[in-house]
């Protein structure tokens, strides 16, 4: 039976709450595999594990519970060891590295901030700031919407201007929140958001960070800012400037801040 691994903690980590369950249908019971100073929180691996919403939530819930009791290195969803022995062996082989990470992340949590433009507001802004776009929009309007090519030309100009504005606002957002965090990890670019940045924040001073987010919401009302946390430090399990694996863009600013 292979072993599903949720996260790595110190072996001195408080024991799991009674009856905690993990992934699988029905949910599988959790257990702890210890090796020296380290421990892995694991369960049996379900035969046909798929990245379904329920399974992802189970993974996240387990890590949230463990993380509330002390530092944890969260595994990415779906990590399966050949067995408990193999999991223990990895802990032993890389003990120094994991212990260093656990120390670095002790007492710290991740907050993920994503932002979108309020579309109408950004369109207004782009038009107001750009006479050329405004003129073209006006002539299109007078022509009853304009030809297909006219529309395309206008839309392309607007899209470019919106994109530039997104980059500008993403930077402004990040600059505003950085001072309240220990480290910053820039997530992948996407059309789903203009900014996707995770911040490593000390639990004890999290209020300062939350206040900074509220300030941003006040100062940049044309942004819809989504805050999620406190979370296990998914984005900070690897040290230094390395971006999280899978990151395709925007990693240049990642790393210790």
Minimum Å gap between C-beta 98 and other proteins is 9
The CA angle 163-195-229, to the nearest 5 degrees, is 165
Select 11 or 89, whichever has its Cβ closest to other proteins: 89
**Contacts to other proteins from residues 176-235, by CB under 8 A:** 185, 187-194, 198, 210, 213, 217, 221-222, 224-231, 234-235
Interface positions, 88-107, toward other proteins (CB under 8 A):
89-90
CA distances from 243 to 99, 181, 197, 253 (A): 20, 17, 12, 9
Q: What phi, psi does 202 have (nearest 5°)?
A: -70, 130
Kindly tell me which residue out of 14, 92, 118, 171 binds other proteins, with binding defined by CB under 8 A: 118
The residue with tokens 């309240």 is 180
Sole binder of other proteins in the list 146, 251, 255, 257 (CB under 8 A): 146
Interactions with other proteins, residue window 10-69 (CB under 8 A): 25, 48-54, 56-57, 59-61, 64-65, 67-68
Q: How far is the CB of 178 from other proteins (least distance, A)?
A: 18
Element (H, E) at 24: none
Q: Which of 100, 106, 132, 138 is in the footprint of other proteins by CB under 8 A?
A: 138
Neighbours of 173 (CB within 10 A): 22
Question: Is 108 one of the binding residues for other proteins (CB under 8 A)?
Answer: no
Closest CA to 117 of 226, 222, 228, 215: 222
């Amino acid at each position: 039976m292979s072993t599903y691994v949720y996260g790595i903690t110190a072996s001195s980590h408080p024991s799991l709450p009674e009856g905690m369950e993990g992934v699988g249908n029905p949910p599988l019971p959790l257990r702890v595999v210890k090796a020296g100073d380290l421990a892995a929180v694991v369960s049996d691996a379900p035969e046909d594990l798929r990245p379904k919403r329920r399974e992802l939530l189970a993974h996240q819930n387990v890590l949230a519970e463990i993380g509330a009791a002390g530092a944890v290195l969260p595994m990415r969803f779906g990590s399966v060891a050949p067995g408990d022995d193999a999991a223990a062996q990895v802990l032993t082989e890389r003990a120094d590295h994991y212990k260093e990470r656990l120390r670095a992340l002790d007492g710290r949590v991740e907050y993920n901030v994503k932002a979108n433009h309020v579309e109408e507001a950004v369109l207004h802004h782009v038009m107001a700031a750009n006479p050329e776009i405004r003129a073209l929009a006006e002539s299109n309007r007078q022509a009853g919407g304009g030809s297909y090519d006219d529309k395309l030309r206008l839309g392309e100009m607007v899209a470019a201007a919106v994109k530039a504005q997104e980059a500008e606002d993403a930077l402004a957002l990040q600059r505003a929140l950085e001072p309240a965090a220990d480290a910053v990890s820039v997530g992948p670019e996407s059309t789903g958001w203009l900014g996707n940045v995770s911040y490593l924040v000390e639990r004890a001073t999290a209020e300062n960070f939350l206040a900074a987010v509220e300030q941003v919401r006040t100062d940049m009302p044309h942004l819809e800012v989504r805050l999620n946390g406190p979370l296990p430090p998914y984005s900070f399990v690897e040290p230094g400037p390395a971006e999280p694996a899978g990151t395709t863009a925007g990693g240049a600013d990642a790393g210790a801040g």
